[in-house]
Structure 1
Amino acid sequence: MDHLEHRLLPVNGIDLSLYSAGPADGRPLWLLHGFPECWHSWRQQIPVLARAGYHVLIPEMRGYGQSSAPQAVEAYDLQSLSGDILAAMDALGQQRASVIAHDWGAPVAWNLALTAPQRIEALVTMSVPYAGRPKRPATEIMRKLNQERFNYILYFQEPGVAEAELDADIARSLRTIIFGEGASDAFLQEKPAGAGLLDGLAEPPQSTPWCSEEDFSVYRRTFANGFRGPLNWYRNFERNWQLSEHLAGQQVLQPTLFLLGERDPVGRLEAVTLERMPSVVPNLEQQRFADCGHWIQNERAAEVNALLLDFLARHYPAGG
């Protein structure tokens, strides 16, 4: 990978661990990772985007790695998570930027586009779609639909429960969720409501073609202090809904590219949202990848990179 710089940036009441690459005077481009991932999830995009002339900024999101991990659950609402990025932009003297985001990074990106439209020029989101503020918190709907059936988001709600399971063997937990078919198995497997996330799942492989043992060691270090901070993101569905009342009916007007793997379990879970998304995101381009799972920027790196460069050249050129 090309030369990376690292700093701890005091912003928004926390220390944000921030990696960067590319020319310092290049147009800023933020890459936001998801769960259970790390800044290194963008390892196949960073050099490509940096060589294209962008100033690429890759944070370890709040609760991950070397960034601060507050204990309070409410410290992980979307307002706080988006505030970290906006405060970092301010600290770095960036008036405007574009954002590329995957998984949980996508809701942060959607929220940035909605709440700070004057700061965000273009958007690329992967896996998690957006179709406006729901009429009820998502967890309320999930509880009604999954009274006797396991649902991983509901399982994550009670502090300490999922941590006890996942922290018992962090490397195995990460491998089970990330490698092979683990994402689909872990999040969509039919089992009773009292089950654990990893119950009934096969022993995971040690590596995949797109994640070497050396790469995986970065994921392990990211979660060295456990899963509590990252899991707290899931515990704010109701709070996020309450804080977003002013966004009801608002559209995402920035040029937006949405990428999804056909085998991504989120595609099944968010089928209705995907169908409605074009009405809320009118300047939307979409691309789906056959025979691709959830970890799209790694599983199909070359194709994703080509799409990113084409989209950015049209809507956020490096020399613009």
Structure 2
Amino acid sequence: MTDHGQIPTPAGPFDMISAGDPGSPPVLLLHGFPQSALEWEHQVAVLGHAGRHAVAFDQRGYSPGVRPDDVLDYRMEELVGDVLAVTDALGWSEFDLVGHDWGAAVAWNVAASFPERVRTLTALSVPHPGAMGAAIREDEDQHLRSRYMQAFQDRSVEKRMLADGAEALRRIFEWRVPESSIDEYISRLREPGALTAALNWYRAMRHNPIPDVVSVPTMYVWSTEDAAIGSTAALACEKWVTGPYRFEMVQDVSHWLPEEAPDLVTGLILDHTR
């Protein structure tokens, strides 16, 4: 079971789910697009039961209390600042950090810029932004896989995504995520301004510099059926980590690792953070 609550920060209150004793070793989990902290519900519950204090929060734009209008408010420096503000509010000077999709991109940046705060990093699906950027430029397959990022910046995309019962949003999940979770995600993204806020992460991308190499103990998990991330980017990730590095390749699983392979992902997180 997970508890629901809010974390007050100078930017506003972030909605969260949590499990475990607040005095236990802390783990922060960051979700991706177009999801919410709900994608980590299984992991948070198991981590809490295993003696960790696990927290996943709805990030900027996904939490109604932190949903600014300006695209520039979704630059990576703001997203990283939210992680620091949330962990400060929780009283965590050091924590294990886990991220999936956009949450992984934020996690790479936090670990690169604030290694003194991050005990271990676990990144799912999205590799270090340096590896990703090089693959988009140099690998035709990855360039084609990443074209959706440009499409998501079009100002008419919100209307198309929500049309016909949000059919286009539903298709993103490739029928690999529980229908009840998809319904919940879409319900949240129908809130006024919510989908625009989520897409503003993509619209602010051009303002995001490539982070430095990561020196903390890092595990990167990539699944072979990931439609968005090809093997070139995944295999190049190692070049961007100077600390202990572990690469886990998961066969026959799509981009939606935390929900399609929940027990496998939870086991990997427990093992890496042990």
- TM above 0.5, yes or no, is yes
Query: Which of 147, 152, 159 is 1:151 aligned to?
Result: 147
Deviations 1:146-204 (A, max 9, x none): 7xx9921111223x221121133454233211133xxxxxxxxxxxxxxxxxxxxxxxx
Are 1:255 and 2:217 an aligned pair?
yes
Identical amino acids, percent of aligned pairs: 30
Runs of 4+ in structure 1 deviating by more than 6 angstroms, as ranges, are 133-136
Q: Distance in 2 between matches of 1:217 and 1:97?
A: 32
Aligned partner of 2:207 in structure 1 is: 239
Q: Distance in 2 between matches of 1:255 and 1:285?
A: 8
Aligned partner of 2:107 in structure 1 is: 109
TM-score by length of 2: 0.88
Query: Which of 229, 233, 248 is 1:273 aligned to?
Result: 233
Higher helix share: 2
Bigger radius of gyration, 1 or 2? Answer: 1
Unaligned ranges ≥5, structure 1: 181-207, 314-320
Aligned partner of 1:76 in structure 2 is: 74
Q: Distance in 1 between matches of 2:170 and 2:233?
A: 29
Residue 222 of structure 1, CA deviation: 2.1
Is the CA contact (8 Å cut-off) linking 2:17 and 2:41 kept in structure 1?
Answer: no
Q: Distance in 1 between matches of 2:195 and 2:89?
A: 28
Which residue identity is paired with 1:258? Y
Is the CA contact (8 Å cut-off) linking 1:12 and 1:84 kept in structure 2?
Answer: no
Which residue identity is paired with 2:189? F
Unaligned ranges ≥5, structure 2: none
Are 1:172 and 2:172 an aligned pair?
no
1:293-304 counterparts in 2 under 5 A?
Answer: 293-304=254-265
Aligned partner of 1:211 in structure 2 is: 178
Is the CA contact (8 Å cut-off) linking 1:170 and 1:223 kept in structure 2?
Answer: no
Residue 293 of structure 1, CA deviation: 0.5
Residue 65 of structure 1, CA deviation: 4.4
Residue 212 of structure 1, CA deviation: 4.1
SS at match of 1:5: strand
Greater shift in the superposed pair: 216-225 or 286-295: 216-225
RMSD: 2.5
Q: Distance in 1 between matches of 2:73 and 2:164?
A: 26
Aligned partner of 1:4 in structure 2 is: 3
Q: Distance in 1 between matches of 2:64 and 2:31?
A: 14
SS at match of 2:229: helix
Aligned partner of 1:34 in structure 2 is: 32
SS at match of 1:61: coil
Deviations 1:96-129 (A, max 9, x none): 1111110000010000001111111101110000
- Distance verdict in 2 for CA 1:67–1:125, change over 3 Å: farther
Are 1:222 and 2:188 an aligned pair?
yes
TM-score by length of 1: 0.76
